Structure formats: structure tokens, C-alpha cells
Amino acid sequence: MGCLIILGIFIALAVLGAIVGDRNKTASSESAPAPAGASSGEPAFETPQESEEEPASTLTGPQSNAARTAANYISMSGFSREGLIGQLSSDAGEGYDVGDATVAVDSLNIDWNEQAVRSAKQYLSMTGFSCKGLIQQLSSSAGEKYTASQAKYGAEQAGAC
């Protein structure tokens, strides 16, 4: 279990480093590929960006900013709903108000099952997992915080089961 927590911390630090280090690069690459991704069938990347623009007029300033930040995170890595809200609202993360982060995440049309598949594939690319172990890592409150059904779907689709 300790190794899984360390692995989770490593992944979180890598994602955070990529976000902080490539913030300008990510913003420019997201705006150009959006139409291409939509036509190539990559809903995990494009759906949040498209949805972010539509409800922007109904979101407050902080909520709109949190939605943009959430879309950036989703474009780089798989996140569960709870994990993304936590990343946005954590003092060690972005520091948004929990309510603003929740509204922002819920304003985006994110396929959480697809996010679970992405997370599962990321774990499997670094080390081996049993089906049960990967589901536990994906659904654990100390791990990725996916629902049990999302974690099971992710592990199965990633080939661990």
C-alpha cells in the first residue's frame, strides 16, 4: 500500500511539474488541436474545452477560471471528478474555493469512465498491476478517487483484467 501511495505522489508531482513547466506551451497546443481532436474521436480531451466555452456566461469569474484550469488538467492526465475538484481546491494545488471548483468541474462535459481508462493506462505504463490492485488504486481515497464502477471499467479497458 505504501508503494501505491508513493507512486500516486510521484504521478501527482509529475503532472504538477508538467503543468507549471509547460503552462504556455499547453495553452497554445490546446487551442489548435481542439477541432482536430473532436473529429478524431478523443472526447476525453476535447469535450471539456468545448463545454467550458458554452456555460462561461453563467459562471462567475473564479468558476470560469477554475473551469479553464480543470480543462488544462484533463488535457494532460486522467482525473476522477473528486480528484480534479481536490486538485483545484487544494492549497497544495490551485487553491480555488471548493464550491467554485465543484461548479467548474460539473460545468464541463467529462466522460469519467474514459478518464479512468486514461489513469489506468498511465499506471500500467509505469508498472504492473493485478486487476484487483489497479481497481483498488483507482478507487482508493488515498489514490485516484474514482467510483468503484469507474475504476473497474478503467482497469478492464486498460487490459489489467
43-69 pLDDT, tens digit each: 444 433 444 344 446 999 999 999 999
Same domain, 123 and 139: yes
Q: Which of 143, 12, 122 is nearest to 135 (CA)?
A: 143
61: domain range?
1-110
Grid cell locating 30: 490546446
Neighbours of 146 (CB within 10 A): 29
Q: Quote the mean pLDDT of the chain.
A: 76
Distance between CA atoms of 107 and 18, rounded to whole angstroms?
24
Same domain, 5 and 69: yes
Same domain, 93 and 48: yes
**How many structural domains comprise the chain?**
2
What's the pLDDT score for residue 93? 86
Phi-psi region of 89 (alpha: psi -120 to 50; beta: other; left: phi over 0): alpha
Instruction: Look at 35-44, 59-68, 92-101 and tell me which has the smallest mean pLDDT.
Output: 35-44
107-131 tens-digit pLDDT: 999 999 999 999 999 999 999 999 9
5-29 tens-digit pLDDT: 444 554 554 444 444 444 333 333 3
Same domain, 102 and 156: no
Distance between CA atoms of 58 and 53, rounded to whole angstroms?
10
Same domain, 84 and 11: yes
| CATH code for the domain in which residue 136 is found | 1.10.10
Same domain, 96 and 141: no
Same domain, 98 and 122: no
Same domain, 79 and 93: yes
Residue 135 predicted with pLDDT over 60 = yes
What's the pLDDT score for residue 22? 41
| Secondary structure of residue 142 in the 3-state scheme | coil
Same domain, 101 and 139: no
Q: Which of 110, 134, 149 is the last residue of a domain?
A: 110
Q: Which is more confidently placed, 41 or 127?
A: 127
Q: Which of 25, 23, 20, 76 is nearest to 48 (CA)?
A: 76
70-87 tens-digit pLDDT: 999 999 999 999 999 999
CB 134, CB 4: distance < 8 Å: no
Same domain, 73 and 12: yes
CB 84, CB 98: distance < 8 Å: no
Q: How many residues does the chain have?
A: 161
Residue type, 45: F
Within 8 A by CB and 6+ apart from 148, the residues are 135, 139
Please report the sign of the dihedral spanned by the C-alpha atoms of residue 9, residue 159, residue 155, residue 41.
positive
